[in-house]
Structure formats: C-alpha cells, structure tokens
Structure 1
Amino acid sequence: MFADAALRSAADVSPGVRPPESSAPFRVYYLAHAGGTGAEFSRSVFSEKNIELVGVRYPGRGGRRREPDPGTLDGLVSALLTEVAPSGAFGLFGHSMGALLAYEMTRKLITLGRDVPRHLWLSACPAPHLPRREAPLAHLGDAELLRAVAGRHGAVPQEVLNQPTLAALIVPPLRADYRRVEEYGFRPGPAVPGPVHVLYGNDDIVSMDRLRPWGDLTEIPPTMHGFPGGHFYLDEHRPAVLRLIENTVRQQL
C-alpha cells in the first residue's frame, strides 16, 4: 500500500487536485490517509457518469514535495480549502486522517458561510472529540516509525522496511501527518449538517465504541457501513465502497 503510493507519487506532477475530466454535476473529493498522496483511490472511476471522483493532493509530497508543508491540521485545512474551493453539489470522502480533514473542512466551510458537502463519508477514523488511546508515533526514528505503523495498521510492506531509499520517500510525509493528528485538539463547534456516512473495517483497531460517537457531532445520526478487513479495507473492497457512494449520491441527481 505505502510502497505503491510512494512509487506513484515520485512521478506525480499534479498540483492540488486532479484536473476535472468531465462536467459531472456531482463531485466527490477524496482525502487520503496519513502518508497518502490522494492518487491511490482517485484512479478509480464511478460507473455512474454523473459523479466524478477527484483526488486531493497534499503539499509536501508527490509532485508537490518541494512545497512547504502547512504544519498543523488547521493549516492544511485552510490551504486545501483555498486550492480546492469546493462549491455546488459535492461531497467529501476522507479515510483515516483524511476523515478528520473532511470533518474540519466541513466545519470551516460552515464558519465561512460557503457551500457545505451534500454528503460526508468518514472512513476508519475515531470521533475526534474522544480522548486519543493510541501512543504517539511522530517522535520515533525512521525505522521505528515504519515498524510501529506496520504493527498498528499493517500498511507497510516488508520491502519498504528493507529498502532505505524507498523508506526515505515515505517517512517525511508520514511523520508530518502523524504529528499533525497527534497535535490536533478538538474544539466544540457547529454540528455537521446533511447525510454523514461512517465506514470502517470490521477488524480495524478503530472499534465501534470509537466510531458511533460521530453521532454526537452531526445534526442527524450517521449511517454505519462495515466491510471485511482492517484499517485499509479500501484496498480490497474499493468497488463496494464506490457503489455505496454512487447509491447515496444517486438519490440527489
């Protein structure tokens, strides 16, 4: 998973978001996990031509690796909203750290009085107002960090652990993302409007008692969608996730 992302990101020259390829009336912006590029999931396409999937690229990695990292999660939220400027009929799909970004981007849009997502898909991420259970990892050395992430989420292939050159591509953005999540502090604010969908892997360390409390932060109870697998269930069940998105969006088209 991480090895594939790193190899592709080395040749990735797209800024911000992948340029739209269609005039689809509904756009879904995909926000990647810690260490992700936004390209992994966005290479998929919907069978429904009225929906377009757009992968958001974070500064400081891939084709944007020479750009400064915004640092905090709030800084990244502001930077992405300036670049992406979503409006009209759109939704945000965030996986893991990306779900936290999607949530905070939505709250920022509410505060700014701008269009908000018609749908919000939050994947493999505990509700942010809960105390963190996981030990911090951002301070670890490079090899220790990769081993710890592999042990926690099973996302780092052995070849990455064995290849310093490949690991060197992955560690800086991975560390930056873990740091921004670990330093994140929840602030009470407006409840998220509209349909919210919480997705998760049945075998993930992010348990249901950490997922159900998303309902404390939404105007209406979120729908819950479980899939076989762990934290990166998306890798194996991408077609099913795409169908879920299509089915929920189709009701509004």
Structure 2
Amino acid sequence: MTMTADADGAATPAPRTTAIPTTALTDPDQIRWLRDQNRRTGGIRLFCLPHAGAGASAFRGWPELVGPGVQVTAIQLPGREDRIRDPAHDSLEDLLAELVPVLARAVDGPYALFGHSMGALIAFETARRLVAQGTPAPQHLFASAHGAPHAPYRNRRVSTLPEPEFRRAMQSLGGIREDSAKDSAKEALSASPLLSTLRADFRLWETYEYVDGAPLPCRLTVLSGADDDIPPLDLALWRELHTGPFRIRVIDDGRHFVMRQRRQVAEVVRAGLAGEF
C-alpha cells in the first residue's frame, strides 16, 4: 500500500481508490499535476494544495462536503502517492516554475485556491504569479494553518537534521506514539521515498523568503485551529496581502483540524465561495 504523510508528518496509508478521471484533462502536464475529485463542470473550480508530506487524496470526499457548483481539483505534488517516484521539490521557486504554467492553462473560468499549512504558502505564491502573468485573479484564497508569508518563520528548522533526528522530529510533529500500534506507521515514515519527500517539503518551507508584491485582488479567508500555536498577529497580518474582504475562522481543534473537522472546514469554504461574509 502506498503511504503518505498526515498533518505535516504523520505517516498514514493512502486510500486504495484512485482519483476520479475526467475527460476534460488532455494536457499531459495537467494529467500529471491535477486530480479532479468529481466530474462536475461549470460553477467555480477549487484548486486544493495539501500539507507537507501529503498528497491529493487529502481532499477526497470534498465535493460532497462543499456542495454543488464547486469543481474540486486537488494538486498532486511530486514525491507522494502516485507520483512517489518523482523527486519532491525543495525550492518553492522551482516548484512554482512547473506548477504555475499548468494552472494557468487549467483556469478556464472562476476559480479559488485552498492550501493547508505548507499548502497555504504554495497557494498564496501561486496566486501571485498567476495574477502577475495576466491570469485572472482567484475569487477567493483560503489560507489554512499558516501565518502570513511575511511574518517570521517561527517553527523549528529540521530539514538539515541527520536522519535519526529528522525522523524523530517528523514523528513528534505527526503525533506518532511510541507503541506497537504505531509500528507500521513508524516503518513507513522510515522508508526512504517518504522521508526524502518530507525533508524536501520542510526545506522548501524553511528556505522561503517573502518578496514584496502587489496585493491580491480577491477575498481571503484564514483558518486556524483553536489549539494551534500560530500567533494571532501572524494570522492578522494576512490582511495586508490582499484588497478584498477578509475574515479569520477558528476551528475547535489543533494542527490536524483540516482532517479531523472536515465538515466545519468545508462549510467555511462553501460559505466563502458563496460570498456569505
């Protein structure tokens, strides 16, 4: 069974089911990067970016949760799930150089971006580059579990740790307990492909440098877990990076809220896409 990482580090089995195919995807690059989660067309397209170590399957089931009128398209980053053999990017600039042209060709109507944790950073910079090159702005950006990109990086830097220490850091972030019930997860985390992907993801995150640019002309919703440790000021600073309506929604959970509180998160997204704030 293919393994993925959950909530920025915890190793969990990826679903056995495959992404639902869509006849709309004929571009080879789009086929490699995009995983349409439903066959719905029309309405607004929601591009979703997962947290560190995770893949497109993190957004399986979202079409039913966000309701009609939304085409959910998860982005499959290299180095995970069915792209486990593709080396993960350890530089955001290198990742965006490949991803942005794919999305620019895929945008054929109104769209929005959702990113969780590391995915929020990628979503923000993707939106900036799309707009800068003349692609219409997203209607909405959802930044989940991440402080504003121009706030200081406050997490422990782990990407350069020796492998045993890096593995322990990933286990700690993912909440992997030191008991026999988690043996399979610990073994999966030790596997070279997954560990390499996690190291690349955290290096991408840790080496990011914010550069001033034009604010995004879109709505912005910031989601945070009530028990997460992101400073409120870092969340509020997102307001400086766009020109549309802004809100912060707090979910009753910690870092894992996007997986544990899927219905609450989906309702925030549904309401945001409908302009209900």
TM-fit CA distance, 1:103 = 0.5
Deviating more after overlay: 131-140 vs 13-22? 13-22
* Counterpart for residue 49 of structure 2: 31
TM-fit CA distance, 1:150 = 4.0
TM-fit CA distance, 1:170 = 2.6
* Counterpart for residue 266 of structure 2: 242
Q: Deviations over 1:2-36 (max 9, x none)?
A: 332xx217886873111452213211111011111
SS at match of 2:249: strand
Deviating more after overlay: 157-166 vs 93-102? 157-166
* Counterpart for residue 17 of structure 1: 34
Q: TM-score, normalised by structure 1?
A: 0.88
Q: Please show how residues 177-192 of structure 1 align to structure 2 within 5 Å.
A: 177-192=201-216
Distance in 2 (alpha carbons) for counterparts of 1:247 and 1:178: 32
TM-fit CA distance, 1:157 = 5.5
TM-fit CA distance, 1:165 = 4.2
SS at match of 2:11: helix
TM-fit CA distance, 1:229 = 1.1
CA RMSD of aligned residues (A): 2.4
Q: Deviations over 1:166-225 (max 9, x none)?
A: 431431111100001111111011111110000000111212122111112121452000
Check conservation: 2:89, 2:200, Cα contact below 8 A. no
Q: 1:150 to 1:205 in 2, by over 3 A?
A: farther
Q: How many pairs were matched up?
A: 249
Distance in 2 (alpha carbons) for counterparts of 1:69 and 1:165: 17
Check conservation: 2:118, 2:146, Cα contact below 8 A. yes
Q: TM-score, normalised by structure 2?
A: 0.81
Unaligned runs of 5+ in 2: 1-5, 20-30
Q: 1:225 to 1:130 in 2, by over 3 A?
A: same
Distance in 2 (alpha carbons) for counterparts of 1:136 and 1:161: 26
Check conservation: 1:194, 1:219, Cα contact below 8 A. yes
Q: Please show how residues 146-161 of structure 1 align to structure 2 within 5 Å.
A: 146-151=167-172, 153-156=173-176, 158=178, 159=182
Check conservation: 2:112, 2:139, Cα contact below 8 A. yes
Distance in 2 (alpha carbons) for counterparts of 1:33 and 1:121: 13
TM-fit CA distance, 1:135 = 2.4
